[in-house]
Amino acid sequence: MRILGIDPALRVTGYGAIERRGRGVALIEAGIVAPATGAALERRLAELHKGICALLAQTRPDVVVIEELYTTYKNPMTAILMGHARGVMCLASAQAGVPVQTLGHAHVKRALVGSGSATKDQVNAMVTRLLNLRVAPKPNDVSDALAIALAYLNMSEHVLAH
């Protein structure tokens, strides 16, 4: 099973595709999609949609896992704008025929580190170790996206094993 994890945002969206290989996990591809800032919202959403469509065609995942948005932004309009971006990502997945799964931040941390209140450094270290990387993925958006994919892999195999 190939999993594409996405840490959704309007500015810098991290992504990471992974795949189970024997007893290890292989990193297929990871990076960011970052539409030019300054343009009108609809133009930025169009650029984001194009980027995610290209990513789906390139990585051909079996499932896309897009992190759930917080409802706790100081400015509620931020959450709504993030919703615009996440909606466009869900659409791209549907158009590519790939099912979308949602994981909350705390679930990702719990699945990877064992605690919903794990620090960013702990999550980072676990992503680096599980993917057998020499250095932690940068920027944080990429590490977060890989954490989402790894958490989903962990949870789905845990479910399958029982």
Binding pattern to a copy of itself, positions 128-157, x when CB under 8 A? ------------------------------
Binding pattern to a copy of itself, positions 3-42, x when CB under 8 A? -------------------------------------xxx
Shortest CA distance to 56 belongs to which of 27, 25, 26, 15?
15
Query: Is residue 11 a contact partner of residue 36, using CB atoms and an 8 Å limit?
Result: no
Q: Is 160 in the site for a copy of itself (CB under 8 A)?
A: no
Q: Which stretch binds a copy of itself (CB under 8 A): 16-24, 84-92, 116-124, 126-134?
A: 84-92
DSSP-assigned beta bridge partners for residue 6? 15, 66
Which one among 65, 69, 118, 126 touches a copy of itself, defined by CB under 8 A?
69
Q: Is 54 in the site for a copy of itself (CB under 8 A)?
A: no
If 0-12 CB within 10 Å is exposed, 13-18 middle and 19+ buried, where does residue 3 land? buried
Shortest CA distance to 130 belongs to which of 22, 11, 26, 48?
26
> Any idea what the Cα angle at residue 79 is, between residues 119 and 153, rounded to 5°?
50
Least distance to a copy of itself, CB of residue 30, Å: 22
Least distance to a copy of itself, CB of residue 161, Å: 25
Give the position of tokens 């991290």: 14
List, by residue number, the catalytic residues. 7, 67, 141
* Identity of the amino acid at 118: A
Least distance to a copy of itself, CB of residue 63, Å: 11
Q: How far apart are CA 19 and CA 1, in angstroms?
A: 6
Report the interface residues with a copy of itself, using CB under 8 A. 40-43, 45-46, 49, 69, 71-72, 76-77, 79-88, 90-91, 93-95, 99-100
